[in-house]
Amino acid sequence: MLTSIVMQRVPRRAIWLTICIACSSILEAQEPDDPPPRRPTTPDEAARADIVRRPVLTGRARNNRSSRRTRRTRDRTVDRLALAPDMFGDSGFVNVFTSLRGESGMLAAWDTNKIADNGSVLPKNRVYFDYRLFDNAQSLTNPMVGASGDISRYRVGVERVFGVCDDWSIEFRLPFTGGGDIAIPDLSYGFGGVGNLSVILKRVLTESDTTVTALGFAVNAPTGADATISIPSSPDTITIHNEAVQLMPWVGLLHTPDERFFHQAFAQLQFAANGNSVSATGVGGVLTDQTLLFLDWESGYWIKPHCPDHGMGVAAVFELHYTGTLQSPDLVAGLPPSPAATLAGRSVNVVNMTGGFHVAVGERMTLRTGVSVPLTGSADRFFDTEGIGTLIVHW
C-alpha cells in the first residue's frame, strides 16, 4: 500500500532518474584504479622522463607566460634547445696589430669582444665571469730580437631577455687585461687595465623544434686605456689613443638534432666607425682598424644529459674559429726617432681550435673549462695555448 501511495505522489520520471544515478555510482566505484606509471630503469630513460615533464629553464620561457613557447613547455625538444651549451670562443685576437721599424708586435690594450666568446644564439637570463690565460703571447716576430710574455684576461658579462615573447635580449660585456710591459733593445710597449665595453642586442629570427636562428648588432665602446710605445734611443713616446667605436653585426644558428648532439655557429663583421689618433712629439695621425670577419663553429655531445632535478650534466665541446682582415692596413708615417719610421697595421688570417667540457650543476649554475690552440703558422700565431675557465649563473 505504501508503494502505491509513493507511485501516486512522485512522478515516474523522477523515480527512474534516481535509479539511474544510483546504478552509475555503483559501477564507477567498482572500476579498478589506473596502474601507476613505470619507473625509469636506466639513466637515459630518467633523463627523457624528466625532460618531458619539466619546464624550460631559460628566462625566455620561464618568464614568458603567454607566448607560444609556453604552450610547448612539455615538449622536450624545446628544453634541449634551451640547455645547449654556450660557445667557448677563442678570444685571442685584438684590434691593433702594429709594426714599428720592422719589429712586429701586438698591442693588447683593447680586445674585440667577439659574439662567439661565451656566446649563445638563444636569448638567456645569465651572468658570467670568464678567465683566459694566453701562454707565450705578445711575441715579436722579428727573429733578431725575441720577446714574449703571458697575458691574463678577465671578462664579466650580464644578459637579460625582454619583449612580449622573450625573443630579445641585451648583453653587456666588460673585459680586464692583466697589466704588463714588454721591452727589447729597440722597442718597448705597455698594456693592461680595463678593456672596451660591448653592448650586444639579440633577436630570435626563426625557431623550430630543433633549430633557432638569430641576428644581432653589437657596439664596442672605447672605454679601455690608451696604448704607449717607447723607444729607448729616443726621448719620445708614441701614444695610440683608444677612440674608435667598433660596430659588429652578426647572425647565429643553433641546431639540436637529438637529445645529445648540438651545433652552434656565428658569422660576424667588425668595422670601425672612426679611427684611433696617434700622437708623438710634433707629429701625429689617425690609425684606423681594419674591417674583420669572424666565423665560428661549435659541435658537442652530452656525455651525461643535463637533468636539473637529478644533479649534474656533462658535455664535451669542439670548436673552430677563423678571424681575417678584409681590407688593406692603415699606417701613420713620420714618427720618431726618424722621419722614416711608420706605425702600421697588417693583414692576418687566424685559425684557432678550441676544446673543453661544459658542466651544468643543478638548475642555475654552469662551470666550463677548455683550451684553445692556434692552427696557423707563426705569422698568424699570437699565442701558444689559451686556457679557459668560466662560471655562468642563470637567473
**Residue 31 pLDDT exceeds 60:** no
159 within 8 A of 124, measured Cβ to Cβ: yes
**Lowest-confidence pick of 13-17, 261-265, 294-298:** 13-17
Task: Give the start-to-end residue ranges of the domains of the chain.
Answer: 56-394
Q: What is the distance between the alpha carbons of residues 177 and 108, in angstroms, rounded to a whole number?
A: 8
Q: Higher confidence at residue 219 or residue 38? A: 219
> Which pLDDT band, with edges at 50, 70 and 90, does 319 fall under?
very high
56-394: CATH number: 2.40.128.130
Grid cell for residue 164: 612580449
pLDDT tens string 118-168: 999 999 999 999 999 888 775 544 433 444 567 888 999 999 999 988 899
pLDDT at 142: 40
pLDDT at 290: 86
> Which pLDDT band, with edges at 50, 70 and 90, does 299 fall under?
very high
196 within 8 A of 176, measured Cβ to Cβ: no
Q: Higher confidence at residue 25 or residue 268? A: 268
Cell 686556457 locates to: 387
Q: What is the distance between the alpha carbons of residues 394 and 169, in angstroms, rounded to a whole number?
A: 14
Q: Higher confidence at residue 31 or residue 63? A: 31
**Residue 76 pLDDT exceeds 60:** no
Cell 708586435 locates to: 105
**Residue 245 pLDDT exceeds 70:** yes
Side-chain-facing half-sphere of 130: CA atoms under 13 Å: 28
> Which pLDDT band, with edges at 50, 70 and 90, does 353 fall under?
very high
